[in-house]
Chains A and B, each alone.
Chain A
């Protein structure tokens, strides 16, 4: 079912861009990298590595103006859980499970300051810094009871795993159940999760499932499925948040396209670790500084992409707005599951 392999290594230009933004390379941390002369981007020069590489974003012109995000507002805030939690930008930091606790604490604190989610998935012990920052953390432990985080993760790999009693227990403890599921084309799973009371669905491409599809396809299918359950503002789509994550995501271009397909938050895994060069840098102060710069740089890139498309709000204008995107060199079947038009079609 997949067009491309799951394993993608982040290297070359993509890696350099991340490092420049984080300040691990170059001299302008926190800024979108500037380049010159023609693009070498996939799919027309470099080999495409994912379906996302076939999706292009719009540039507003003539019929609507683009927006300059350096001098004019482009809102990147995302409201989760019926508006209870405000993120400054549609991102979160994941893949913390093998870090020393000292660095996990640093990341949780930095995420809070930057108004993004820290995903503790896979982490055995919960860091003490969750206290006071409960809204901005997704618990590592599976299930209720063992966490201070208000967003309690439940890993679900098939419809049989959906346990309404567990959901009720989480809700009655004043916390929010968050389902973490593999990227699957089993849309009934998504609607079952949403209607059983989960407040958010995290689609994690790195979880194994029987009916695996690409993350971008799963996000799009989930978005569409939630739209068709319930009516208007009561549709599940407007009450349940959709979060996407995968090891292979390379930067804000990927994040922006996933938003367009319906995700509201994208959790960064390998790319943030490579960007701040965690292999060589473990000083918490430097890690915090680089993570802040990386997030600010990526936020600016998201604003550039949104502004270029004439969108001044990510949450209301970009999320699920496939009309802002076109696909190049994809087959009809993939176009139809994504719900994205072919480039050049009317």
Chain B
């Protein structure tokens, strides 16, 4: 994106010089005089060539949009001849098939690097499109928008229909293109400001906030709401400023991190990528169903988190002690070489290894057995310590997704943050994270026989903490959040939990615990009971002003027969009542948790502070003990 570019450029792929001539003729007939700038890329890995034209007279934007749609349709049938893939003033798009370095070479990018306000790039695996031609390559552009997207939206068909109603008639068939069209349509034709358009697309849950006006808008714009997994990075210019928008879906199914340093704002799938460019940037991840918005003149406008200052982990202050034991520079090593070195150390009886300059290598420690203390300097990639049985890892930096999956023993100590799905099916050993952690931490944790896992997060976590948990202990300390109004957990804490315990320092809003039916459904039922004459006005109005309509609140206010009736909305055959207590740790708990929390304090140099933490009030969440039941229906296999 380039704010200073003022001339509209049309870029198109054509299968042959004849097709290009025909396209050029049609364009000039419909849009006026055209200045061809010739073929652009030398080789984009396919038989297509890209051509560039400028439009000196600059016709009306809506006319250009319609013409592009019409021509793309006409030139795609009966067989594909040409496709216009960008037509903005401030947008310049380069698409190709092959590795990023191939595309970079084909477009001779090194001579273009200067002068842009925003760069967006993406390499993708085609999921639901063939991907053989560059028309399916990212980025996708419409008007002054450019979009790259990781995901596969399930609302695709509904979004397509909406766009068809809006006059879009040519699609290459990917959801990523649809996202570009939606953003362009909402901002240019429906007149929404950029942030409102982003909010429609990220599609917040109905129960989020009580902003009635936005609810009305999501109904009106329901065809533009996105569902299913997506991380979108979009660039836009309104002619006065250049915007960068980063969107995360409501479940945060795809990874995304954003970062900031003195000069730039970054967005990427993995922290290691940002660190490669800016080793000391502040990096954070988006909350589910949120978006980050930044502009080139005003910096970050919406951080995509409630309190980004607090959520950023302590990277800046991470101590980097001297490497110990065998010292390995990992900067040029692949994961197989790293794991080979770890195995060799075990074989030779070397007890300590320090891996320097780790930059996103995945699977570190996977399949390595034996005893070893591994210090990692840098940012290890996804799937660190999966299936770990006895290795100890200490990371002086942040870790990414899927750390400690099916870990049976050993330990992982992280001085920075952890991202999503930390400690899935963790069933032994200890995971300590000084900073924050992302979505779905400690899901499916379990214990068996003598093995009980411990997962301690120093900062805050996002949604679905301990989902499906069946054993083990999770502790969230909320260090640094004391005295703020930011809850230290996201929503759906302990949903589907059947065993184990979750300790959250401080108080957790009841609406964040478990999965409750929509508040509006419960209110509707209560209003009905009131109209039926079964629920008195005073109780009804008291309940309707309650912030949380959870089983505990209802049981405090409703007589047993009405409670039984309303509870139909909550209960199902898998429903387990959660026991939620707000209290100090018992002596027995202090005896159990004291050692692991003191280890946490020691690893992260907390000194006496950890003792004060142990004396604080915790919210303790666990399932009510299962009553022996009659043989139930099996639902497996």
Measured CB to CB, the residues of A under 8 A from B are: 28, 30-31, 34, 60, 63-65, 67-68, 70-73, 75, 77, 79, 82-83, 86, 88, 109, 112-115, 132-133, 227-228, 230-233, 235, 237-238, 292-293, 296, 300, 309-313, 315-324
Residue from A79, A296, A317 having most chain B Cβ neighbours under 10 A:
A317
A300 to B127, CA, bound (A): 30
A72 to B251, CA, bound (A): 9
What is the count of residue pairs linking A and B with beta-carbon distances less than 8 angstroms?
Answer: 174
A306 to chain B, nearest CB (A): 9
Partner of B222, one of A64, A232, A238, A296: A238
A86 to B216, CA, bound (A): 11
Residues on B with C-beta less than 8 A from A300 are 572
Residues 104-120 of B, flagged 1 when their CB comes within 8 A of A and 0 if not, give: 00000000000000000
Contacts A65-B229, A71-B468, A320-B157 given; does A133 touch B203 at CB 8 Å: no
A64 to B524, CA, bound (A): 33
A318 to B158, CA, bound (A): 7
Residue of B nearest to A319 (CB): B158
Q: Tell me what chain B mostly uses at the interface: helix, strand, loop, or mixed.
A: loop
Contacts A60-B228, A67-B251, A317-B225 given; does A83 touch B515 at CB 8 Å: no
The reply to whether B205 and A73 contact each other, CB–CB distance below 8 Å, is yes
Residues on B with C-beta less than 8 A from A315 are 219, 222
The reply to whether the CB of B151 lies closer than 8 angstroms to some CB of chain A is yes
The reply to whether the CB of B451 lies closer than 8 angstroms to some CB of chain A is no
Partner of B165, one of A30, A34, A70, A235: A235
A235 to B464, CA, bound (A): 38
Residues on A with C-beta less than 8 A from B251 are 67, 72, 312
Partner of A65, one of B128, B157, B253: B253
Partner of B568, one of A83, A233, A296, A319: A296
A237 to B158, CA, bound (A): 12
User: Can you name 9 extra interface pairs (CB under 8 A) apart from A64-B228, A313-B227, A323-B157?
Assistant: A31-B573, A64-B152, A75-B205, A82-B216, A88-B520, A113-B524, A228-B165, A233-B220, A238-B162
Residue of A nearest to B569 (CB): A296
Partner of A227, one of B157, B161, B515, B528: B161
Contacts A65-B253, A73-B515 given; does A316 touch B158 at CB 8 Å: yes
The reply to whether A312 and B161 contact each other, CB–CB distance below 8 Å, is no
Residue from B155, B160, B468 having most chain A Cβ neighbours under 10 A:
B155
Which 4 pairs of residues, A with B, have the shortest CB-CB distance? Answer: A323-B157, A113-B528, A321-B157, A71-B496
Residues on A with C-beta less than 8 A from B207 are 73
A269 to B3, CA, bound (A): 60
The reply to whether A232 and B190 contact each other, CB–CB distance below 8 Å, is yes
Residue from A68, A230, A233, A300 having most chain B Cβ neighbours under 10 A:
A233
The reply to whether A64 and B229 contact each other, CB–CB distance below 8 Å, is yes
The reply to whether A237 and B165 contact each other, CB–CB distance below 8 Å, is yes
A31 to B229, CA, bound (A): 28
The reply to whether B528 and A238 contact each other, CB–CB distance below 8 Å, is no
Residues 442-472 of B, flagged 1 when their CB comes within 8 A of A and 0 if not, give: 0000000000000000000000100110000
A243 to chain B, nearest CB (A): 16
A323 to B496, CA, bound (A): 31
A-B contact pairs, 24 of them (CB 8 A): A30-B572, A31-B572, A31-B573, A64-B151, A64-B229, A70-B572, A72-B492, A75-B518, A77-B518, A83-B215, A83-B219, A83-B220, A88-B524, A228-B164, A231-B189, A237-B161, A238-B223, A310-B154, A311-B228, A312-B251, A317-B227, A317-B228, A321-B158, A321-B161
The reply to whether A316 and B222 contact each other, CB–CB distance below 8 Å, is yes
Residue of B nearest to A237 (CB): B165
Residues on B with C-beta less than 8 A from A230 are 165
A133 to B531, CA, bound (A): 8
The reply to whether B531 and A132 contact each other, CB–CB distance below 8 Å, is yes
Residues on B with C-beta less than 8 A from A237 are 161, 165
B533 to chain A, nearest CB (A): 10
Measured CB to CB, the residues of B under 8 A from A are: 127-128, 151-158, 160-162, 164-167, 185, 189-190, 203, 205-207, 215-216, 218-223, 225, 227-229, 250-251, 253, 464, 467-468, 492, 495-496, 515, 518, 520-521, 524-525, 527-529, 531-532, 568-569, 572-574, 633, 635
A34 to B634, CA, bound (A): 9
Residue from B127, B495, B521, B529 having most chain A Cβ neighbours under 10 A:
B521
Contacts A232-B190, A312-B227 given; does A323 touch B220 at CB 8 Å: no
The reply to whether B165 and A115 contact each other, CB–CB distance below 8 Å, is no
Residues on A with C-beta less than 8 A from B495 are 71-72
A292 to B225, CA, bound (A): 31
The reply to whether B633 and A28 contact each other, CB–CB distance below 8 Å, is yes
Residue from A30, A292, A313 having most chain B Cβ neighbours under 10 A:
A313
A295 to chain B, nearest CB (A): 10
Contacts A64-B151, A70-B574, A233-B220 given; does A310 touch B158 at CB 8 Å: no
B190 to chain A, nearest CB (A): 6
B46 to chain A, nearest CB (A): 19
The reply to whether A71 and B467 contact each other, CB–CB distance below 8 Å, is yes
A230 to B228, CA, bound (A): 28
B66 to chain A, nearest CB (A): 11
The reply to whether B203 and A316 contact each other, CB–CB distance below 8 Å, is yes
Contacts A83-B220, A132-B531 given; does A317 touch B154 at CB 8 Å: yes
Residues on A with C-beta less than 8 A from B527 are 112
Residues on A with C-beta less than 8 A from B635 are 34
Residue of B nearest to A116 (CB): B524
Residue from B153, B205, B223 having most chain A Cβ neighbours under 10 A:
B223
Residues on A with C-beta less than 8 A from B153 are 64
Residues on B with C-beta less than 8 A from A31 are 572-573
A288 to chain B, nearest CB (A): 9
B34 to chain A, nearest CB (A): 28
Contacts A73-B515, A310-B154, A312-B251 given; does A63 touch B128 at CB 8 Å: yes
Partner of B219, one of A63, A68, A82, A323: A82
Residue of B nearest to A78 (CB): B219
Contacts A64-B151, A70-B496, A313-B227 given; does A88 touch B518 at CB 8 Å: yes
A319 to B206, CA, bound (A): 17
A287 to chain B, nearest CB (A): 14
Residue from B151, B221, B518 having most chain A Cβ neighbours under 10 A:
B518
Residues on A with C-beta less than 8 A from B221 are 233
Residue of B nearest to A62 (CB): B127
A86 to B521, CA, bound (A): 9
Residues on A with C-beta less than 8 A from B166 are 231-232, 235
A132 to B527, CA, bound (A): 10
The reply to whether B155 and A316 contact each other, CB–CB distance below 8 Å, is yes
